[in-house]
A and B are shown apart, each in its own frame.
Chain A
Amino acid sequence: MTRAQQTISIALLLSSLYLTCFLGFVPFSPKIQDEIIPVLPFWGLISFGSYLLFKLGYGVFTFNDVPEAHKELMAEIELARVDLKAKGVDVGND
């Protein structure tokens, strides 16, 4: 089972569960049915977005600079550029 298949099947499962609740096939108290259930997808989206932002911010916050790795990386990029250009690949212009 590929990752795409896994993701799609989980997404389908959650959507069908949500749809049964949304269309009224599961009895809820009227307050929950009218006010909470329509908002759930948006809440999920916003929570997912803020979770991603949190992860990003945490990574940026705890990342320490590595100047030697930077120099090494730049040198490797130059080498690769020269090499590929000699072989005829379009390496763009910087």
Chain B
Amino acid sequence: QLDRLVGLTMLIAATTIFLYYTIWTLFMPFVDQPHFSHAFFPPRVWAIRIPVILIILFSTVIGSFLSVVMIRSNRRKALKAKK
């Protein structure tokens, strides 16, 4: 039953992220400043900064994982060639 919960969480998270980001980037520029809905969103520079930070973080994690695996496998290969 736990995996159903995980699946549901992913579904809700995906929908929320999509809706929030779409409204933030595509709708808010057309809403005049004094409107109350601007209080729900941080300043729009962050709409670009957050994805960039996530991309850099993600590629760092993937890059380090890849390099660790490759170094480990090369070490193993060198060990075997030495035998």
Residues of A within 8 A of B (CB): 31, 35-36, 38-39, 42-43, 45-47, 49-51, 53-54, 56-63
Q: Are B18 and A46 in contact (CB under 8 A)?
A: yes
Contact of A57 with B14 at beta-carbon distance under 8 Å, contacts A42-B47, A45-B51, A47-B22 already known: yes
Give the residues in chain B near A54, CB-CB below 8 Å: 10-11, 14-15, 18
The answer, among B17, B18, B25, for a CB contact under 8 Å with A42, is B25
B6 within 8 A of A: yes
Nearest residue, chain A, Cβ from B19: A50
Contact of A43 with B14 at beta-carbon distance under 8 Å, contacts A57-B9, A61-B4, A61-B8 already known: no
Q: Is the contact region of chain A dominated by helix, strand, or loop, or is it mixed?
A: helix
Residues of B within 8 A of A (CB): 3-4, 6-15, 17-18, 21-22, 25-26, 29-30, 44, 47-48, 51-52, 55
B72 nearest CB across to chain A (Å): 13
Give the residues in chain A near B51, CB-CB below 8 Å: 42, 45-46
Indicate the member of A49, A50, A58 with the most B CB atoms within 10 Å.
A50
* 3 closest A-B pairs by CB: A57-B10, A61-B7, A60-B7
Q: Are B9 and A47 in contact (CB under 8 A)?
A: no
Given A47-B22, A57-B8, 10 more pairs with CB closer than 8 A: A35-B44, A36-B26, A46-B51, A50-B18, A53-B14, A56-B7, A57-B14, A60-B3, A61-B7, A61-B8
